[in-house]
């Protein structure tokens, strides 16, 4: 680690820095282009670090920037320990860490451990024959007697999860693109190599990791078929409804119990650095249960997020209470990380068809939930999903299932910094994805000059959370859904905060519990007490009270 930054981020002395943190996700291809090639880069992140600091976030999560053929835009890694030239150099990455640490912001990077690119040197050796030193580093299997794949497992990106390779006359497993072969975690040498990757970046000063598809690391060693999932249980929150991936109960291609031992090994590597990890639990059937398993105690991962609030439908008051209650049940000894948007799902402003008032309410809500928080770049601007034409589409997922599923490019279009040109201040060149014209009016520069803009609301909500320790690390209780109003209390020591939210576009009444309550959160639109002793919440209004 750069000695100039080390004193600012003493993670070893503050092992719980991640608990209740607000983490800002940066998709580097689309954040800021510094050299005019139309692709965002690490130097662009450095350029925008003052803006990131102005949000008040505790950490950034940077999506993959490793060397890659970019078939899945960096989630297909061909060299874990170097920066792809389109994003810059290792020195540029060091500059990001230095700039962030000087602002008091921690840096988390996206580690894609479950699979590599076919262009990774490991796979190049593994596929040569069945006897080389890395022959067992990937998941290889013989065909069935009729030549068909070894199991019925399906790829999230469509079709079989098995790809034939004529050199070995075997199939290899790929849970995603055929160019993303799965590593064989049953081989301890593979685990060792991946732990060395984590150590490499920890030594460069990173403060933690976002672990892509954390529940996909292990496969069933017996290669058993997945059972069919009854139609009434199918859930399209992980894969689009047009994808037959939803037709299986994924018991054997992921979610394997052997993963826990590897996560303990990874935690032991991270522990001396005081680093933290947030795991992505990609599962529509057992997501919260896996979250609880993977974050239990002090030997596994610190945080995980599931897809309950990344789902298609806007959460109702009852849905919110059910999710939070379920987390209490299955993850009582763990820690959740909440997100409404990210680089893999339609932006929630569009997904839930939210008005500006509704967006503000949900921004306040997520800052009051027990757990840590991930915000996705542009969320703080209230950006809607961009409409990307098929001719401009880059995402292989969307190309495969177009037009029923339009892919992920609509949430990955460039960040808009100013309204003064067609590229929104993102690049002086032709952007890799077009800048949405409707985004220009929502640019950072346009909102900075408007005190009522949602950007300022996000800043206020983040500050509000950080000003109240009960919201950051406290417990919650009294979870209730009363019609369209969801309410709960957050408490730590002698601080108790009542939080109530009208999650609808119609007025709702809320009966304030007995006690001596002080009104707080006026800057977030918190409702005032009426003469009749009831809280009359307008559409999308919140009520925040501090117990005296």
Domain ranges for the chain: 6-116+188-464, 475-547
In this structure, what is the dihedral angle of CA atoms 446, 449, 453, 456, given to the nearest 10 degrees? 120
Residue 204: CB partners within 8 Å, gap ≥ 6?
A: 1, 90, 93, 94, 97
CA torsion sign for 69, 70, 75, 79 is positive
Cis upstream peptide for 504 (omega within 30°) = no
What is the pLDDT at residue 251? 95
H/E stretch holding 209: strand 208-211
Determine the Cα–Cα distance for residues 289 and 297; give it in Å rounded to an integer: 15
Q: Are strands 535-537 and 337-338 parallel, antiparallel or unpaired?
A: unpaired
Q: What is the pLDDT at residue 6?
A: 42
Phi-psi map region of 354: left, alpha, beta (phi>0 left; psi -120 to 50 alpha): beta
Q: Which residues sit opposite 537 in a β-bridge?
A: 508
Per-residue pLDDT of the chain (548 residues; tens, 9 = 90+): 443 444 467 887 889 999 999 999 999 999 999 999 999 999 999 999 999 999 999 999 999 999 999 999 999 999 999 999 999 999 999 999 999 999 999 999 999 999 999 999 999 999 999 999 999 999 999 999 999 999 999 999 999 999 999 999 999 999 999 999 999 999 999 999 999 999 999 999 999 999 999 999 999 999 999 999 998 888 655 777 888 999 999 999 999 999 999 999 999 999 999 999 999 999 988 999 999 999 999 999 999 998 999 999 999 999 999 999 999 999 999 999 999 999 999 999 999 999 999 999 999 999 999 999 999 999 999 999 999 999 999 888 888 889 888 889 999 999 999 998 889 999 999 999 999 999 999 999 999 999 999 999 999 999 999 999 999 999 999 999 999 999 999 999 999 999 999 999 999 999 888 889 999 999 999 998 776 667 899 999 999 999 99
What pLDDT sits at residue 1?
A: 40
Computed on alpha carbons and rounded to an integer, the radius of gyration of the chain in Å comes to 23
243-276 tens-digit pLDDT: 899 999 999 999 999 999 999 999 999 999 999 9
Angle of CA points 197, 289, 159, to nearest 5°: 70
Determine the Cα–Cα distance for residues 63 and 78; give it in Å rounded to an integer: 15
Sole residue written with tokens 């990380």: 337
Length of the chain (residues): 548
| Strand ordering across the sheet containing 337-338 | 303-305, 276-280, 208-211, 106-111, 59-62, 22-26, 372-376, 337-338
- Pseudo-torsion of CA 520, 524, 527, 529, nearest 10°? 20
Mark whether 280 is an active-site residue: yes
CB of 545 closer than 8 Å to CB of 497: yes
Q: How far is the first Cα of the chain from the last one, in angstroms, to the nearest whole number?
A: 45
As a whole number of angstroms, the distance between CA 345 and CA 4 comes to 38
Fold of 6-116+188-464: TIM Barrel (3.20.20)
Q: Catalytic residue among 76, 84, 220, 280, which?
A: 280
Measure the CA angle with vertex 298, ends 292 and 300; round to 5°: 55
How many CB atoms neighbour CB 47 within 10 A? 16
Q: Are 181 and 139 in contact (CB under 8 A)?
A: yes
The catalytically annotated residue of 72, 92, 207, 212 is 212
380 included as an active-site residue: no
Give, as one character, the DSSP assignment of residue 313.
S
Q: What is the pLDDT of residues 74-105, one digit of tens each?
A: 999 999 999 999 999 999 999 999 999 999 99
Coil/strand/helix, residue 338: strand
CB under 8 A, 24+ apart: contacts of 328-334: 328/479, 330/288, 330/289, 330/291, 330/292, 331/288, 331/291, 331/292, 331/295, 331/296, 332/292, 333/292, 333/295, 333/296, 333/297, 334/291, 334/292, 334/293, 334/294, 334/295, 334/296, 334/304
pLDDT value at residue 3? 39
Looking at residue 405, its pLDDT comes to 85
Three-state DSSP at 59 gives strand
Three-state secondary-structure class, residue 279: strand
Global pTM reads: 0.96
Q: To 5 degrees, how large is the angle CA 317–CA 541–CA 497?
A: 75
pLDDT at 534: 79
Residue 221 is classified by DSSP as: T
pLDDT at 480: 97
Q: How far is CA 218 from the centre of its chain?
A: 21
**Looking at the domain 475-547, which fold is it?**
Immunoglobulin-like (2.60.40)
What is the spatial distance between Cα 134 and Cα 123, in angstroms, rounded to a whole number?
Answer: 8
Query: How, if at all, do strands 475-482 and 485-492 pair?
Result: antiparallel
**Whole-angstrom distance, CA of residue 399 vs CA of residue 333:** 41
């Amino acid at each position: 680690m750069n000695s100039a930054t080390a004193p600012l981020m003493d993670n070893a002395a503050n092992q719980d820095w991640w608990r209740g943190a607000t983490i800002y996700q940066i998709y580097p291809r689309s954040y800021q282009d510094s050299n005019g090639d139309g692709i965002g880069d690490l130097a662009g992140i450095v350029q925008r670090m003052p803006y990131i600091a102005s949000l008040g976030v505790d950490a950034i999560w940077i999506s993959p920037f490793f060397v890659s053929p970019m078939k899945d835009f960096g989630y297909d890694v061909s060299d874990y320990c170097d920066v792809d030239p389109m994003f810059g150099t290792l020195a540029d990455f060091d500059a990001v860490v230095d700039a962030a640490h000087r602002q008091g912001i921690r840096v988390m990077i996206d580690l894609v451990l479950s699979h590599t690119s076919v262009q990774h040197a490991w796979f190049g050796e593994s596929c040569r024959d069945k006897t080389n030193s890395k022959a067992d580093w990937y998941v290889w299997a013989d065909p069935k007697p009729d030549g068909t794949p070894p199991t019925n497992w399906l790829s999230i990106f469509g079709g079989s999860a098995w790809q034939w390779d004529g050199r070995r006359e075997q199939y290899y497993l790929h849970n995603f693109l055929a160019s993303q072969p799965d590593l064989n975690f049953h081989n301890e040498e593979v685990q060792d190599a991946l732990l060395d990757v984590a150590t490499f970046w920890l030594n460069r000063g990173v403060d933690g990791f976002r672990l892509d598809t954390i529940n996909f690391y292990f496969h069933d060693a017996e290669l058993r078929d997945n059972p069919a999932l009854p139609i009434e249980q199918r859930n399209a929150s992980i894969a689009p409804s047009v994808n037959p991936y939803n037709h299986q109960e994924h018991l054997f291609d992921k979610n394997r119990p052997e993963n826990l031992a590897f996560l303990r090994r990874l935690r032991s590597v991270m522990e001396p650095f005081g680093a933290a990890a947030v795991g992505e639990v990609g599962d529509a059937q057992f997501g919260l249960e896996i979250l609880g398993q993977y974050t239990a105690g002090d030997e596994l991962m610190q945080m995980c997020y599931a897809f309950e609030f990344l789902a298609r439908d806007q959460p109702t008051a009852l849905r919110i209470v059910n999710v939070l209650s379920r987390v209490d049940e299955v993850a009582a000894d763990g820690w959740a990380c909440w997100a409404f948007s990210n680089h893999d799902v339609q932006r929630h402003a569009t997904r839930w068809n939210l008005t500006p008032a509704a967006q503000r309410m949900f921004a306040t809500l997520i800052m009051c939930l027990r757990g840590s928080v991930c915000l996705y770049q542009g969320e703080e601007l209230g950006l809607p999903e961009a409409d990307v034409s098929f001719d401009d589409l880059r995402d292989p997922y969307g190309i495969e299932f177009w037009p029923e599923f339009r892919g992920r490019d609509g949430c990955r279009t460039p960040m808009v910094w100013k309204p003064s040109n067609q590229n929104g201040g993102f690049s002086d060149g032709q952007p890799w994805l077009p800048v949405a014209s409707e985004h220009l009016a929502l640019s950072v520069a346009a909102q900075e000059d408007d005190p009522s803009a949602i950007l300022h609301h996000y800043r206020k909500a983040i500050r509000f959370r950080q000003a109240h320790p009960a919201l950051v690390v406290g417990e919650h209780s009294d979870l209730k859904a009363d019609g369209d109003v969801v309410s709960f209390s957050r408490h730590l020591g002698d601080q108790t905060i009542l939080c109530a939210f009208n999650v609808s576009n119609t007025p709702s009444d809320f009966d304030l519990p007995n006690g001596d309550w002080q009104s707080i959160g006026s800057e977030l639109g918190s409702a005032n007490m009426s003469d009749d002793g009831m809280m009359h919440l307008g559409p999308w209004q919140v009520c925040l009270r501090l117990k005296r």
